[in-house]
Structure 1
Amino acid sequence: MKLSHIMLFPSLILLISCAGKKEVDATPSEVIAKVRKAARLIEDKGLEGLEVLRDPHSEFSWKDTYVFSFNCAEDKVLANAAFPEKVGGDIKQHTDYNGFRYGLKMCEESDSPNGVWVEYIWPKPSGGQPLRKISYVLTVKNLNIQVGAGIYNEEISMTELNQLIQ
Structure 2
Amino acid sequence: MDIKEIQNLIKFVAKSGASEVKLEMEDIKITIKTGSEKTETTIVQAAPMATAPQAAAPAPQAAAPQAAAPVKVESDDSKYITVKSPIIGTFYRKPSPDKPSFVEVGSDINVGDTVCVIEAMKLFNEIESEVSGKIVKVLVDDSSPVEFDQPLFLVDPS
TM-score (normalised: structure 2)? 0.31
| Bigger helix fraction | 1
| Bigger strand fraction | 2
TM-score (normalised: structure 1)? 0.30
The structure number with the bigger radius of gyration is 1
Bigger relative CO (Cα 8 Å, ≥ 6 apart): 1
